């Protein structure tokens, strides 16, 4: 593979590219392994992804391809990682540490630029209110999904109830009675293919983020979704040992169910005809029947 870009500008000083080869697979981008030689002649490898910048082990830099305008590369250290399911104990500790240490630059929910789940944009406009932010996020994803899969009136009906009544019912209590929630930097798409374990150190790494500042519980809603493999409740339990759910805790599992619907809708958007559209309808119907009387 020819490299028609100035990647050497973002590598370790003195490193010289010796070759670039296809490596791994990605649904939305091309991935490669860069083999380089250090100043003293030692070999070094990097991982290259042609996409928008994201969270990765030891990032080195990013830029635009010289001969492919509008296509971007991201370079980070190359790691020998396994793609087995991650250790839930280590993942729970590391993820909680990320959430606890992160600080929103303006104290709001959102991000300074549009982030992407795969190739699909997320509305990450800054917002003081988590309820308002999540309503807008959910609605925008749903509107994109509806354009792709067409109107399904039953889903549209429950979605309107969700946006107008269910989301406020479940999320407003997070900030009433003197409560508050911190905007935490979340990965945003943390499923098993975006988590790797170094085969030499057993350290867990996460990458391919669509990051934004959110309620910390939002991060693990994806682990409830049946189209992913990390559905074992152990993953959520280990995380919440390190960063407990917000009050009211007796509604935390239903908030988790609500958060998972955004992932289901996004999957239905990305893969038209997927069963996740039906699952989203079923999850919202369950919550509406549990929390709202007569659908309002």
* Residue 276, pLDDT score: 97
Helices 276-291 and 153-161, axial angle in degrees (round to 10): 40
Query: What is the C-alpha to C-alpha distance for residues 77 and 149, in angstroms, rounded to an integer?
Result: 39
* Residue 34, pLDDT score: 63
Query: What is the C-alpha to C-alpha distance for residues 267 and 118, in angstroms, rounded to an integer?
Result: 10
Helical H runs in the chain?
A: 88-101, 130-149, 153-161, 167-171, 233-242, 252-270, 276-291
The structure tokens listed for 284 are 């919202």
The CATH homologous superfamily to which domain 88-295 belongs is: Aminoglycoside phosphotransferase (APH), C-terminal lobe (3.90.1200.10)
Of the spans 28-32, 62-66, 282-286, which averages the highest pLDDT?
282-286
Averaged pLDDT of the chain: 85
Q: Is the pLDDT of residue 296 over 60?
A: no
Residue that has been written with the tokens 């992932």 in this structure: 263
Q: Is the pLDDT of residue 86 over 90?
A: yes
Going by pLDDT thresholds of 50, 70 and 90, the confidence category of residue 82 is confident
* Residue 11, pLDDT score: 60
pLDDT digits (tens, 9 = 90+) for 192-208: 999 988 888 888 888 88
Domain boundaries, the chain: 7-78, 88-295
Minimum mean pLDDT among 74-78, 101-105, 177-181: which range? 74-78
* Residue 57, pLDDT score: 61
Query: What is the C-alpha to C-alpha distance for residues 9 and 215, in angstroms, rounded to an integer?
Result: 37
Q: Is the pLDDT of residue 29 over 70?
A: no
- Determine the average pLDDT of the residues in 106-132: 93
Strand partners, 46: 34, 77
Residue that has been written with the tokens 């005809």 in this structure: 273
The structure tokens listed for 20 are 């670039």
- Determine the average pLDDT of the residues in 55-61: 60
* Residues 186/219, Cβ–Cβ less than 8 Å: yes
Q: Which of 163, 189, 218, 182 is nearest to 109 (CA)?
A: 182
- Determine the average pLDDT of the residues in 218-239: 96
* Residue 161, pLDDT score: 98
């Amino acid at each position: 593979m020819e490299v028609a870009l100035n990647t050497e500008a973002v590598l370790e000083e003195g490193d010289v590219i010796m070759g670039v080869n296809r490596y791994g697979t990605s649904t939305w981008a091309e991935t490669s392994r860069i083999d380089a030689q250090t100043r003293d002649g030692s070999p070094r490898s990097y991982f290259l992804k042609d996409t928008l910048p994201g969270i990765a082990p030891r990032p080195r830099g990013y830029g635009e391809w010289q001969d492919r305008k509008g296509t971007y590369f991201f370079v980070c250290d190359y790691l020998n990682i396994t793609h087995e399911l991650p250790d839930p104990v280590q993942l729970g500790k590391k993820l909680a540490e990320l959430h606890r240490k992160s600080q929103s630059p303006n104290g709001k929910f959102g991000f300074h630029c549009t982030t992407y789940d795969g190739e699909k944009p997320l509305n990450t406009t800054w917002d003081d209110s988590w309820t308002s932010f999540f309503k807008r996020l959910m609605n925008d994803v749903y509107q994109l999904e509806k354009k792709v899969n067409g109107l399904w009136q039953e889903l549209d009906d429950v979605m309107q109830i969700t946006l107008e009544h269910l989301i406020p019912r479940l999320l407003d209590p997070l900030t009433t009675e003197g409560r508050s929630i911190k905007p935490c930097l979340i990965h945003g798409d943390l499923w098993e293919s975006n988590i790797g374990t170094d085969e030499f150190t057993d350290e867990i790494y996460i990458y391919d983020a669509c990051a934004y500042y959110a309620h910390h519980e939002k991060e693990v809603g994806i682990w409830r979704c049946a189209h992913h493999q990390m559905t074992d409740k152990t993953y959520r339990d280990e995380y919440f040992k390190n960063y407990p759910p917000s009050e009211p805790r007796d509604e935390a599992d239903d908030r988790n169910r609500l958060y998972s619907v955004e992932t289901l809708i996004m999957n239905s958007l990305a893969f038209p005809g997927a069963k996740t559209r039906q699952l989203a309808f079923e999850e919202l119907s369950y919550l509406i029947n549990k929390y709202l009387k007569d659908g309002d």
